Chain A
């Protein structure tokens, strides 16, 4: 499988010689493996079970959000509101739990807040014909505002243990948050790569006008991708609140940008029609190991940001060079 198996509406890549590997498609995988090898050799602790599980927990939130973001980006849209929706969903869940709502209902409320935000985005993009960047930018500000307004700006804490398990608990040796995010990514990969809905997502992103003319339900598809992105951000809010054992209005600031970066590193095009969940998984892992490696090497936090930015730049640069080369051939 290649990383950028664009449009899984059947295989779309140009016919390749059977065993010839298109090297450029493997860039992210190679960089990822190189970093893993380097960290294994340069630190004693990287390959330890404890550290690997720590990476899994640390990346679980961005993984869940990036999963939803992948759907949106493949339609040629973007969801800038996910970070704020994580915070809002967390705060609302926290308030519900404080009001002694049963745990499963609390979780459902958190996800429901995400669904509501996603639905708002989707309806504005389709029926009002607004630009996704602007709509989700507005919702980003509104959701963040609500996250402060509802609890009066205060952090909410002190939940039941059963709830905190979602963020920090274990099943056997595995963190529950990690299992949830892995499950989201796998289900996402199946839906995107194998189902009719997935094929419609690629078609809408590939050429919206042609998709409409060929009978693909463009509006329904667009509403659904924003709804999925919102729902997963809501789920992210529940996980984060459980892990921190508190719901903070300032939580997850800038998270959407990391998630978008992961999707783009994974080979998705911001113009739509191209990308894959497998790519997103690799993008998330790459960001995860880089952050972990920088921590293990005690790199100053300011450098962490710089290096993250540089990695995104290089990933997109390779992609753009690769696209140019292919177009020329």
Chain B
């Protein structure tokens, strides 16, 4: 057997609901197997089976020919299976070095940590993943993208035989993806098998040797990457043709709705000026850490404004707090949905109603009926897939969670929508729905500001794109002049 990993007929169900049905896959040494599929297709469950988090109901897993039945995550780690999680599982208050070697810190005979060796080893790992931060820096000070590289570094440091990358590129941009490709090439040469899960088909094509498509808990098709086309892959994933990925509407722009002049927030960005008209979609492109999210948060009042001004529909707006910005007709859907956008253990209706509690009440007393009504309307309008508005949002897929966030944003009937990474971790089908919705909001006369690390998405959606680099707005490109090269060179060189 030359297969590094072989899964045969793996099935798994939770309380009678099948989530994996008869899945058979192989990974050979030095190969990158891509797994794609909509959220809920069973990719994550399959990986949790490999990582020893879930046990199979049926089927066999073989690792280098030997039957592998992990009793828990520890068994999988000892067997050399490492997972780079979609949900970052790091310790924000520990140093980068401690995070890389968590659980395997070098010790002295007295049980204390060998600091010198720890830092040396950590620097070596950081060099391998091309991350230019101090090994002694607190993880908290790193960006999401940098943290993801730390996590990949952690897997590298553990002598992995199989590395599972669950959406490793979900938050990485441009050169970071390029670097990741280099890191992966190195691993392949060492004979490591890699399972690469991603929603970014572009990257799947760039990185993988073979690609498996999962749908409804089954592995429906596996082909060498050369035998796939992007369209074919999407069709197999959603099982229906997608005619237009970016449904761009032709909208005549109205008056200027938001105007930002020489805006600055201490040490985050400075001197940012732009205008967005009613009906216009304005994109902010740039590398992670360029200050795009910070611009949105400052306009929204979640970060302090230190200079410049914001005008909404011609009126001065002092962004003191999100509460006041909402009242002025500005919403922000945050980049980190789970940390800033949702109360995960609360119901769909509780989450949707959060920004309009006052309107859903009479004399300060909440009206359950008004709340249910708002939620049911939103569920129909945004096609949120759920059995009831009482469902907890943590049980929803990424796409449906994002729709809940969008529904709440729409509930305040804002004039300016600021959407930070609106399709991060959202599956293909729901992405198109989100794009359509954004177009409809613009058509209804809203000004829309989008930050996205998916450049194709910005090119497909926007009327204009502003490019940020190192805390400055370095250029603005009109739709007629759109090209990937133009924007990437602005973002990277300025």
Q: Identify the B interface with A (CB < 8 A).
A: 14-15, 300, 302, 321-323, 325-327, 332, 334, 339-347, 349-350, 353-355, 357-358, 361, 364-366, 368, 371-372, 375, 387-392, 395, 408, 412
Interface size class of A (residues with CB under 8 A): 20 to 34
**A210 interface residue, CB < 8 Å from B?**
yes
**A164 interface residue, CB < 8 Å from B?**
no
Q: Identify the A interface with B (CB < 8 A).
A: 6-15, 194-200, 202-203, 206-207, 209-217, 273-274, 329
**Smallest beta-carbon distance B340→chain A, Å:** 5
The residues of A that contact B353 with a CB separation of less than 8 Å are 9-10, 199
The residues of A that contact B392 with a CB separation of less than 8 Å are 12, 14
Q: Is the CB of B302 within 8 A of A7?
A: no
A-B contact pairs, 5 of them (CB 8 A): A7-B347, A11-B390, A196-B366, A215-B354, A217-B323
Q: Is the CB of B346 within 8 A of A196?
A: no
Partner of B323, one of A8, A196, A215: A215
Partner of B345, one of A12, A197, A211, A217: A12
- A223 and B494 alpha carbons, distance in the complex (Å): 46
The residues of A that contact B358 with a CB separation of less than 8 Å are 196
- A213 and B321 alpha carbons, distance in the complex (Å): 9
The residues of B that contact A11 with a CB separation of less than 8 Å are 347, 349, 368, 390
The residues of A that contact B346 with a CB separation of less than 8 Å are 6-7, 9, 12, 202-203, 206, 273
**A196-B354 contact given A6-B345, A210-B340, A329-B14, CB 8 Å threshold:** no
| Minimum CB distance partner of B356 in chain A | A215
The prevalent SS among residues of A at the interface is loop
Q: Is the CB of A10 within 8 A of B371?
A: yes
The prevalent SS among residues of B at the interface is mixed
**Smallest beta-carbon distance A201→chain B, Å:** 11
Partner of B343, one of A15, A194, A203: A203
| Minimum CB distance partner of A271 in chain B | B345
- A6 and B339 alpha carbons, distance in the complex (Å): 19
**A211-B343 contact given A12-B390, A199-B366, CB 8 Å threshold:** yes
Q: Is the CB of A200 within 8 A of B341?
A: no
- A291 and B396 alpha carbons, distance in the complex (Å): 45
- A206 and B395 alpha carbons, distance in the complex (Å): 16
Q: Is the CB of B339 within 8 A of A209?
A: yes
Q: Is the CB of A196 within 8 A of B361?
A: yes
Q: Is the CB of B390 within 8 A of A214?
A: no
Q: Is the CB of A214 within 8 A of B408?
A: yes
Q: Is the CB of A9 within 8 A of B390?
A: no
**A10-B349 contact given A196-B358, A210-B342, A329-B14, CB 8 Å threshold:** yes
The residues of B that contact A13 with a CB separation of less than 8 Å are 347, 390
The residues of A that contact B368 with a CB separation of less than 8 Å are 10-11
- A202 and B366 alpha carbons, distance in the complex (Å): 13
Q: Is the CB of B345 within 8 A of A274?
A: yes
The residues of B that contact A9 with a CB separation of less than 8 Å are 346-347, 350, 353-354, 357, 366, 371
